[in-house]
Amino acid sequence: MKSFYKLSNQIRDYAWGDSHYIPDFLGVENPEGKPFAEMWMGAHPQAPSHIDEMGSLNLSDFISAHEIDTLGPDISRDYGRLPYLFKLLAAGESLSIQAHPSKKMAEDGFKREDNAGIPRDAPERNYRDDNHKPEIIMAITEFTAMIGFRKPADILSSFSEFREIGKLKDLLRRVENAVKIDPSDALRDFFEGILSLDEQTTHKLLDSACDISCDVRSCWDILQRKWVSHLASSFPGDIGALAPLFLHVAVLQPGEALYQPARTLHAYLDGFGLELMANSDNVLRGGLTKKHIDIPELMKVLKFESSIPGILRPEGYDSSGIRYFKTPTREFSLGLADFNKDKSLSLPSKSGPKIILNLEGKLLLKDGVSQLKLHRGESAFIPWKAESIIISGSGRVAFAGVNR
């Protein structure tokens, strides 16, 4: 088995994608202006990478045929597949407000929908596989996201401007009473209530929000005003446009990251980033989308806790010279390394399975027998049974691997 295999990766052109980030990064033309939303690197059955030198052979089939050699005995035993999915993500418009299930919830939901005879590619399907989907997003450009509920008191303060609008008055009163007993119940009552407002109240609320977002005297901060106005115009009639009033808005600078645990409400708003997650495509949506929304199922999945976004930066260096973002999830680990003409990096044998992506510059991989050049946007798979590899060149490379 070779030590590295160059990959060809599939592009997903979802409606929220951007027409230039990924084409510019890969150096390819996009004359039709397609919304290049994601590039998947990995072995997910919906869009597996292909191994260049093996023609039509995809990475999923290659791993299945050589499971121990590619994954190693431990990962083969624990997962039986590549446990992570690596992506480029380019948000030209907001992604849906969403959350991902825990492992047990995913297993139960997948079995339930299979038993109900719902096709796995059906638009109304919630669970497309049996896995959970914690994830980390690292900014390549400035990147804006919403993640985690604000404190109930802060939410009530933001919505105080609307206290006299329709049925919202009763909802806010219920939430105020619930806060005194259990903040978790208060968040649950608020979120379920705001998603269940009648159409007339919703339209009045959104119209008022657009007026308020233009008023610099409002109690809302500048990010709340900016994003409420933008989302309301991009998603007319969608109550999710008010999410900046109940979720935290975080702005990442290039090289910074956010970790999203399972059951956490979030949405990516704009920018270009690198995403790494457990190998799953399970999404429960709550708004800002034309795709399937299942509010009762989303309510079952969500964890109703207030949290403050923790912006991550890579810490320290391992023995190879790679800096890693610390996350608690075993299925994946995201690392970065910078190169110049005076610096190389040595990956010891049996350190895979890894996928490496060249973020900038030119890289050369050598194992004593063969070599592989990677330009910006090019990627390679390193199996567990790889020999020791020397990586040299100039620029920056990202490493996706398993958190050991």
- Over the stretch 351-394, which tens digit does the pLDDT of each residue have? 989 999 999 999 999 998 999 999 999 999 999 999 999 999 99
> What pLDDT, on the 0 to 100 scale, is given for residue 89?
98
The answer to whether the CB of 384 falls within 8 A of the CB of 402 is no
The answer to whether the CB of 247 falls within 8 A of the CB of 146 is yes
Nearest to 330 by CA among 382, 258, 280, 401: 401
Distance of CA 160 to the CA centre of its chain: 32
> What pLDDT, on the 0 to 100 scale, is given for residue 211?
84
Mean pLDDT score, 329-355: 91
**Higher-confidence position of 41 and 54:** 41
Residues contacting 332, CB < 8 A, separation 6+? 83, 84, 136, 276, 277, 278, 400, 401, 402, 403
Q: In three state form, how does the secondary structure of 94-158 look?
A: CCCEEECCCHHHHHHHHHHHHHCCCCCCCCCCCCCCCCCCCEEEEECCCEEEEEEECCHHHHHHH
% of the chain exceeding 70 in pLDDT? 99
Dist. CA 403–CA 251, nearest whole Å: 26
Dist. CA 143–CA 150, nearest whole Å: 20
Nearest 5°: the CA angle 152, 153, 155 is 65
Catalytically active residues, by annotation: 285
- Among left, alpha and beta (phi > 0; psi -120 to 50; other), residue 93 is beta
Distance of CA 25 to the CA centre of its chain: 19
* Domain coordinates in residue numbering, the chain: 9-146+252-290, 151-238, 323-401
Residues contacting 328, CB < 8 A, separation 6+? 261
Residue 73 pLDDT more than 70? Answer: yes
Residue 214 pLDDT more than 80? Answer: no
> What pLDDT, on the 0 to 100 scale, is given for residue 216?
65
The answer to whether the CB of 288 falls within 8 A of the CB of 95 is yes
CA pseudo-torsion sign 216, 222, 228, 234: positive
> What pLDDT, on the 0 to 100 scale, is given for residue 253?
97
The answer to whether the CB of 332 falls within 8 A of the CB of 83 is yes
pLDDT band for position 56 (50/70/90)?
A: confident
Residue 166 pLDDT more than 90? Answer: no
- pLDDT tens digits, one per residue of 264-312: 999 999 999 999 999 998 999 999 998 999 999 999 999 999 999 999 9
Q: Does CATH place domain 9-146+252-290 in 3.20.20.70?
A: no
Dist. CA 127–CA 284, nearest whole Å: 8
Is residue 123 exposed (0-12), middle (13-18) or buried (19+ Cβ within 10 Å)?
exposed
Tokens of 65: 């045929």
The answer to whether the peptide bond before residue 353 is cis (omega within 30 degrees of 0) is yes
Mean pLDDT score, 311-332: 92
Q: Would the pTM of this model clear 0.85, i.e. be above it?
A: yes
Mean pLDDT score, 152-179: 88
CATH homologous superfamily of 323-401: Jelly Rolls (2.60.120.10)
Residue 167 pLDDT more than 70? Answer: yes
Mean pLDDT score, 79-94: 96
User: In one letter, which amino acid is 259?
Assistant: Y
> What pLDDT, on the 0 to 100 scale, is given for residue 100?
95
Mean pLDDT score, 45-71: 93
What are the start-end ranges of the H helices in 21-58? 21-26
Count of helix runs (H) and strand runs (E) in the chain? 11, 19
> What pLDDT, on the 0 to 100 scale, is given for residue 162?
86
Nearest to 195 by CA among 164, 165, 239: 239
Fold match flag (9-146+252-290 vs 323-401): yes
Residue 168 pLDDT more than 90? Answer: no
> What pLDDT, on the 0 to 100 scale, is given for residue 41?
98
% of the chain exceeding 90 in pLDDT? 81
| Collapsed DSSP state (helix, strand, coil) of residue 307 | coil
Element holding 395 (H helix, E strand)? strand 389-401
